[in-house]
Amino acid sequence: MGDLGQILMAGGWAMAPILICSAVALAIVLERCWTLRRKSVLPPGLAQEVREWARSDQLDPAHLEKLATGSPLGELLAAALAVRDRPRDLIKERIEDTGRHVVHRMERYLNTLGTIALIGPLLGLFGTVIGLIRMFMQVMVGGMADPTKMAGGIGEALICTAAGLTVAIPAYVLHRYFRSKVAGYCVDMEKQATLLLDDLTLSATAATPRPRRASVAAAGGKAPV
């Protein structure tokens, strides 16, 4: 730890924003790893259980509210069940509207992580430029007689470059990973929402009474046997 501290101190004040970015990136990664656990987003067996509730009509406002606050998938299914008596197009529209909000929450902080991945190398480059400027200033003052005077500027330049890349590379990889994970969850949730929508549509069709056939006798013919 002592050597690491000396290395960071040797990087100069340009290391400060890089260290801040690294702390923010670490916090985002830990928070997203916890929030985007599969069992938290897509609880096992929830979709099948909800479809069974819909078939048996065991639903009430309190039940729907509990379902909506339990998980992103539950929120999406609860939105469909809240308008289950409406036509299919309206139910589908409600699912799509709710899905956009759910996806937005699952992607929370990912733009910040992507920004850190983008500016990390730029901050490292900025520190490199500062180090080189310091080196040339020392050369201008003391000349090339003492090479040790150049060591500080060169070391600062290299340390800042390495630190910026060390922050940016993991941030970029994890940003892509979380994006891919959210996209996979969206596909699974869309599949479960479509299955529920089909069940609701079939249930509504079965519950709709068919119009009675006109009596043949009323039309002048024989009554059906």
| 95/89 Cα distance (integer angstroms) | 10
Backbone angles phi, psi at 24, to 5 degrees: -65, -45
Mean pLDDT, range 68-94, rounded to an integer: 89
Identify the band that residue 192 occupies on the pLDDT scale cut at 50, 70 and 90.
very high
Residue from 3, 34, 2, 8 nearest 20 by CA: 8
Burial track 188-204 (b if 16+ CB lie within 10 A, e otherwise): ebeebbeebbebbeeee
Identify the band that residue 182 occupies on the pLDDT scale cut at 50, 70 and 90.
very high
| 155/149 Cα distance (integer angstroms) | 11
Query: How many CA atoms, within 13 angstroms, populate the side-chain half-sphere of residue 219?
Result: 8
Mean pLDDT lowest among 4-18, 29-43, 77-91, 168-182: 4-18
Identify the band that residue 225 occupies on the pLDDT scale cut at 50, 70 and 90.
very low
More confidently predicted of 224 and 75: 75
